[in-house]
Structures are given as structure tokens and as C-alpha cells.
Amino acid sequence: MMKLEGKIALVTGGSSGIGLAVARRFVQEGAQVFITGRRETQLADAVTRIGGQIEAISGDLTNASDLARLFETLNTRAGRLDILVNASGVAEHASLEETSEEHFYRAFNLNVRAMVFTVQNAVRYMGEGGAIVLIGSIAGRMANPGYATYSASKAAVRAYARTWSTELAPFGIRVNTLSPGPTDTPMFDQVSDEVRETLSAQIPAKRLGNPAEIAAAALFLASDESTYVSGAELVIDGGMSA
């Protein structure tokens, strides 16, 4: 039996990278999947590439009107929500000296603010057995020179997940954080081979992660195989943070 058969899932940032891999795996496991993002062409391409029970709803999660429309549309098409995977995020380099208000706002607006209100909306359509998976990062627990703002935003993700796991427990909704290490997503397309090699050398597994490996971990946290797991952080990083 497929692990998500009959489930309704929403994957934010589902048109590329980790979000795309999660959406694909969830469809393979029997879920009806909705993906969202700002780029309509990229969303349409993702739907075509994955096939099966998947639909795209375009929108900007940092925009309250778009967020409301997202959940109104989802409710009209599916009537409920069983799983939310929040995979939207942005990472930009800036030293302390280079950090501007605009840089700070971009990171926290999408990585934290949008996540908070996405979850707030999502739980209105969830019932007993609901599962929320927030994509964090090992950057939230490690020194990451040049990425302090990104790291702080991902530490906030972990903090929210812990508190929400307690707040939502009476409703039968689980909340967990999935924290990948360096993963071979489009974010690394512009990275030189030298940087890739240097980064890989710091990882005991001696390679970057594969989005499909992160998706497999997301499947565990979203499925009934993890019904006693809530408030946890699952680290998938080839041993890097150890």
C-alpha cells in the first residue's frame, strides 16, 4: 500500500529543488498534491514533469491576498488538508557589514513571516492526523559565515516548530522540522566545481545531498509511520553537523 494514499498535501516552493522532489515523492505515494510558488511557468513545468495527482496554484506567500486565495482554492478543490510541507525559502550571502534592511527583510519575510501565516491558514483545514513539515537547515544550528541572516531565520523555524507541536497537539496535528545540509538543488547551479569540492570535503559522506534523499525524510515525517514524532528536528546532512 502506498504511504500517502488518500491524503491531501500542500507543498510550498514545490516547483524546484527540495520542494519539487517532495511533491514528486508524495504523488508517487498516492497523495493528491498541490504546489505553490510565484513563477507560473515553472509551476506548470513541474506539474508536467511529475504528472498524476498534482495541481499548481500560483501566488506569493508573502502577500496576504495571495495566501488567502491559495487556501480558498485548495478548499474548493479538495475540501481539506492533511499535510503541509513548507519548502519555500531564500538564502543570500551578506557579511555583517554588508547586511542591509532590505537583505534582512527578504530573508525573514519569506523564511519566517510567510511560513507563520501559511501554517496559521493551513491548520484551519486540518484535522486529527494532520502533519506539518517545516524545511529548516543545519545552518540554523551551525556557524555559517556570510549567511547569518539566513541562519537566524532557519533557527526561527526550529523554534516555531517546537512551540507549535505543543499548541497543536490537542488537535491531533504534528509539527516537525526537517533540516538538510548542503543539497544539490538549483541554488548550487552557479557554484564553481572548486567550491563544490571544498564543501563536499567538509561532509563525512564526501558529497552533497540529493533532493530525493530529503524527500524520503519528508515522507517519513508526513506519513503515519511517524505518528509518535512531533516537535523533532530530523537532520539530513551526511554527518556534516556531527
* Nearest by Cα to 33 from 17, 56, 62, 15: 56
Q: In b/e form, how buried is each residue of 226-235, taking b as 16+ CB within 10 angstroms?
A: beeebbbbbb
In tens digits, the chain (242 residues) has pLDDT values of: 899 999 999 999 999 999 999 999 999 999 999 999 999 999 999 999 999 999 999 999 999 999 999 999 999 999 999 999 999 988 888 899 998 999 999 999 999 999 999 999 999 999 999 999 999 999 898 888 888 999 999 999 999 999 999 999 999 999 999 999 989 887 777 667 787 888 888 898 999 999 999 999 999 999 999 999 999 999 999 999 88
Enter the pTM of the model: 0.94
Residue tagged active-site, from 105, 125, 147, 150: 150
Active site residue 105: no
By residue count, the chain amounts to: 242
Write down all domains in the chain, each with its CATH number in brackets. Answer: 8-236 (3.40.50.720)
Phi, psi of 85 (to 5 degrees): -120, 115
